[in-house]
Amino acid sequence: MRNIVTLECTTCKSRNYQTTRNKKGHQDKYELKKFCPRCRAHTKHKESKS
C-alpha cells in the first residue's frame, strides 16, 4: 500500500528527495520542511508528480 513519492522544493522547483507514503492513511499531498542543497536553506518541499 505504500507508494514512492518525489518531494520538490517550493522555492527553486528542484526535486531533491524521495520517500514513501501510505495513500490510505494520508489523503492529501505531503508538505515537509527539508534542506534544499540548491537553495542552501531549509525550505518547504511538496509532493510532486513523478
Model pLDDT for residues 9-38, shown as the tens digit of each residue: 999 999 999 999 988 887 888 899 999 999
The pTM is what?
0.84
Domain span at residue 39 reads: 2-48
- Number of folded domains in the chain? 1
- Residue 16's pLDDT is 93
33: domain CATH number is 2.20.28.120
Alpha-carbon gap, residue 47 to 43, rounded angstroms: 13
Alpha-carbon gap, residue 46 to 33, rounded angstroms: 9
Furthest-apart CA pair in the chain: how many Å?
A: 34
The closest alpha carbon to 43, from 14, 22, 20, 18, belongs to 14
Predicted confidence (pLDDT) at residue 41 exceeds the cutoff of 80: yes
Alpha-carbon gap, residue 17 to 28, rounded angstroms: 18
